Structure formats: C-alpha cells, structure tokens
Structure 1
Amino acid sequence: MPVLDPQDPGQQGRAIISFDGVSKIFPSRKDSAEVKAVDNIDLVVPEGAIVGVIGKSGAGKSTLIRLINGLEQPTHGKVTVDGLDIGSLDEKALRQARRSIGMIFQHFNLLSSRTAFDNIALPLEIAGTPRKDIKGIVEPLLDMVGLADKRDRYPAELSGGQKQRVGIARALATKPKVLLSDEATSALDPETTAQIIALLKQINADLNLTILFITHEMSVVKKLAQRVAVMEGGQIIEQGTTYEIFSKPTHATTKRFVGEVTGGNVPEWLQSKLLADYAPGRQAVIRIAFTGADADEPVLSRLTRAYGVDFNIMHGQIEYVADHPFGTLIASVAAEPELQAKLIADLTATRNTVEHLGYVA
C-alpha cells in the first residue's frame, strides 16, 4: 500500500479511505465467464484530500466507488473508511456508516415530487432527525451551494447545474466525512462544469472534507484533483499527485489521457507523415513536456542560439496544472543524429521530458 508522504500536497492527513489488496469478482452467468471488475487494488485516500480516479468505461471505477459505500462487498481484501472495515459490517452498522459517506451522482437522483429544500432534507428524515432541527441544517446548505432563492422549486424548474447543487447539498446534509462523486459533471455543459468544480473545491477547503471522484474526463481531473489514480482492466496502473501524472506519465494509457488535454497527443496529420529512420534532409520530430520553472521560459530560443539550429513548432500548448506551469510542444529540428542527441540531453538536463517521435521529410 502506498506510504503517506508529508511533503505531498495531496497527503497531508491520515488515511480516511484505504483499499488493501481488494478484488471484486462477479460470478459467471449462463453464457459468460466471471468478471474481475476490481483486481488487487491498493489505494490510500488521505483525509482532507481531493482524489480523482480516471478510466474508460469498464475500467472498474464504478465498482470501486460502490465498494466504499458498501453497495458491493469485496471478494478479497479489505476496504476501510474512517477506521471501519466496510465489508465486515452488518446491515445496521452499514446504514450508520453510510451517514458519514455522502454521494453525488451523474444524473442527480432527485425526487421530482419534492422541492429543493425537501430533497436536501430527505437523508435527515431517514436518519430520524427531529423536524424542528431540519430547517437549521438545510437552509445553511442552500446558502452554501447558492440556491437560497430556489428552496421551494421542484427539480423540473431547475437547470442541470442547479439540480447538481441540490444533490451536493443533500450529500452534505448528514455532515459526512467523505464525499463520493460518480461522474458528477459529465452531464453538464463546460461552463456549468467549471462552476461545480469551483464549488467542490470551496467545500473541500471550508470543511476539510475528503472528496473522491470518478470520471472519464481528464480535464476535470486537471482542475479538481490533488491526487490521481488511473484505472484500466480493474487495476490501478498509475497513481501520484496530479502534477506528477500530467508531467511524467509512464503508462501508455495515462499518456493518452494526459495528451487529450495538454496537446501531447500526436495529431493525425502529423502521425501520417512520421518516418522511422534518419536520412539527409529529414527533420527530427520531438515531443517536449516542460515542467517547473522552464514551463514558461524561452527554452527553444536558447537552444537555437546555442546550437545554431531552428525549431519548427508543430503542435502544443502551455497551461497550469494543479497551480503549476506545464507545457507540451511537438517540434521538428533539422539536425543530424549526433546533434539531436545533444539537444535532447540539454532539454532533459533541465527537468523536461523529451521523446523522439521520428522524422519528417
């Protein structure tokens, strides 16, 4: 299991969620083999952190989140939430544990016959909270999510973003220690997604509330997560801080995810022109991931002056990931193999990641 590092910005606290050798196997059916949805996972979610789990459909993300709230039981291993072994709890103890685990959903899951106020109050009613106390809990939550003026509106009268805000407030009603998010932004437009991300970050900061979210959108991970776990085939294939994953991905699947939002993927028009071998007159094509202080420095201009070569920028972008500068460029340069090696060595010496992609005529 990963060790908590006090210098890691996503690992300041104790582990509030942990997976220890967890597998979930669904038995075979009449015409199909058994399915190992989660395969020997070790994962630590520190208290107060925002952790994103990303993977394509079928990667095992939804099963992983259902193991946390006890909707699924592990076939092997142990899932611990706030010190409780979720798989060992009886039904009564599990109901109690779920009060400390809030959940928000992709499609909101609001009751159409209840107002915003009453949807938020629902988990309190189920928990047996006295009616006289419910108003004092629900109204501050409506304020927190910016819906004080929508308290008496029904879901049909609310926009998608407003419905999700109701869902978030409802998830916070029982004062959970953990908030789980199941693709909570994938049904929203980009502007509303940005607003929900900002709200979740504010809730995390104000309440020190641990958030674990699953998504297939790397753009959401980039803006929201402090730490990332990448899933494929039921396994976690790579994990680390968001900046580590974006700046130095090691697995091919992670590289594809990262490239979708950083400009690192080779565009089709260039892929079709790449040649494998050097020949006189061909230019080397390199992909450079600029990290740290060099991300917004004129590195290629310096190399042009130092080596007397010209770079042709073919693709890329520069932005901020987890509040740190990060840039990806794909460039070509007319240089023989010996000079190519010197250029790549110079670039990597300043913490950049460089990959030689091939040649173009």
Structure 2
Amino acid sequence: MQDTENSLNAAPSLLVIFGGSGDLARRKLIPAMYNLYLDGLLPEGFAILGLGRKQMTHELFRALLREAAGKFSRQMIVEDKWTTFEKSIHYISGEIEKRQLYDDIAVFSKKLGGECNRLFYLAIPPTSYSPACRGLCQAGLVSAKDDSPTSRVIVEKPIGHDLSSAKEINAVIADVFHESQIYRIDHYLGKETVQNLLVFRFANSIFEPLWNHHHIDHIQITAAEEDGVGTRASYYDGAGALRDMVQNHILQLLCLVAMEPPWSLDADVVRDARLEVLRSLRPIVGEEGVKQYTVRAQYGPATVHGEEVPGYRREASIPADSTTETFVAIKAFVDNWRWAGVPFYLRTGKRMKKRTTEIAVQFKAVPEVLFNANKDRPLDANL
C-alpha cells in the first residue's frame, strides 16, 4: 500500500492487534497508522489484522475505525486516501484462549504472499498476555530473534496487578520472545514535551549547576484528565489511578526529571539511569505513611461544559460500592545526594478541571526580597 515515493523500502509486514476493536486501537493505534500512511512511512505490502471476541465483518470493522480516526487522527481524513488505507485492514473474531484463533492468524499471514514480518500488539488486559503469547508460540507464529522474517511483541501497561503477577507475565513472555523482541511501551514517553526533557536538562549547561536540592524547593508532576472512565470502566475499576497512571507514566516523568546524566543516549544506559532513581525512592511504609504521604479520592457528579455527568459510582459497569480511586496524590522523596529533602508532588485524576500534563519546578526564593518588600509602599511604575 505504498502511497508516496518516500515510503520505506521494507519487507511486507503484518501488524496484529489483540483487542482490535478496543479503546486503545480506536483512539491511538489506527489513527497513528493512518498518519504514518499519509506520511509515506508504511512499507509496500503492509497489513493490519484486528482481533476481537465480537463477530464482525471486515467492512463493519473498517467503518468502526473510520469513525474513530475521524475523531482522533492528528491529520484530517482524506476520503480517497482512507479508502486506499482501509483495504489493508482486516478482522478475525475468536477466543484468546483457543487454538483456532492462532491458526486463523497463521492462515491470514500466509495469504499475504511469502514470508512477512509480524508485529503483535497486545492491546488487551494483562491477564490475557500469557495465553496470547503461548498461543502464538504453539501456532509457530514467533520466529527466533535473528531469523527473517522478524517477530516482535508490544505489551502495554500495566504489566500485571502486582509484583508477583508482573514477574509471572514477564516470565511467560520471555519464554516465547527474546528480550530484544519485546517492547514494553509507555505512550507518555512519546509526547513531544517528554522527549524534550532530556534535551532541556542535558543540552543546557545553565541548568545542571542548579538542578539539585541546593536550589530547588520542590517539583510538581501533574497528569490531569477531563474525561471520566468512559468505555474503560471494567478495566479501570480493577486498576485505579495509582496502577493506571502513577506506577508507569508519572514515575517515568519523575525519572526523567531526577535522573543523573547518562554517559550516552543508548537505550540501556538511559534505562539504567532511570532505574537508579526508582531505587532511590523513599518507601511509603505502613498505614501511617500512607495517611501522611498519599491522598485517594473518587470524582462525584458534576456539570462539565454545561452537561450533567455522573459520579464514578454511577458510571456504567461500575459497582455502586466501588472503592477504586480516580484521583491520587503522593508526596515522594528521592533519597540521594542530588535530591535530598526535595519533595516531589505527584498527582493524577479523572474529571479534573482541565486536561494537562505538566512538570513544575519551584526554585528556592532568594534570602531577601528587595523589590516591593514593603506592601504599604508599593513601587510605582517607572514609565
């Protein structure tokens, strides 16, 4: 489906999306692929295969994605371009736990003609990662790390519900895919401002001498959303704001702000620098620690843009007695030399006043306020 002369000269590739009709695929993945197509960055012979439980024709699936792309694509929908693009989109229904689904994937892959590179995107709950990886392996859909065609897998956060389940899931994935074939994605790191953080910090010599506890009073990291849980109710009620946002997105932002300068921009080197920040985080211990350093809350009914919206417990598919938090705030400390005593205020929530992701660095005040120190004698404008 080569559209421009700038299209990459690559082998035919198949993107298989588990959860193809879900929120992530509709809001993020398909609009992103359409934009890559418009920019001429998809190879000849590229195809998308959506997987889901619902029985659906290719045409109905394409219509569903067309509507979503119209809402969420960063570029305008050009009908003739979309018509060409959607010819690469296909759909298969099936159960993740059953072998038939993976046999159907294998048959579809062969129909593309010859061998094709395969990218598996697990846009599904983490409880389904294990059967998905095992099914792909048993159907012979995963090649060795250095073989051609290539096989890759992308897993979304959260990977598991707690430490033990995360270890179990990672072990299953590692049994099927080599580490170099595994991409654990955090889409917050793709934001332009986030990517600019490393440049802001390490390419500007003016900041490095000031970037420590001697000069910084505190740092605030905020990720606020205007929307409620929407169509993610069943997932969200089992996760909550802490697991959905803090343990991945916000901690990644904290790491980029607080990390030591890496000796290179190699992925492993940057990862190790971020890991040192996480190891330096002060544990919040016991009930008293939780009370002192954290806040949890749920959003209630409100009027948003002139429209009445329900509170969290009145949302569809949310239990009336749910205690899942939709807002969380944490006062964190990074106990190392650079950040000793500097509080990091982390907060995230749904149904907030405005949608924003921001990092605010508050520098310490100078010892004496020379200008306008006497409120009874304000300075006149000298104009």
**TM-score w.r.t. length of structure 2:** 0.29
Higher relative contact order (CA 8 A, sep 6+): 1
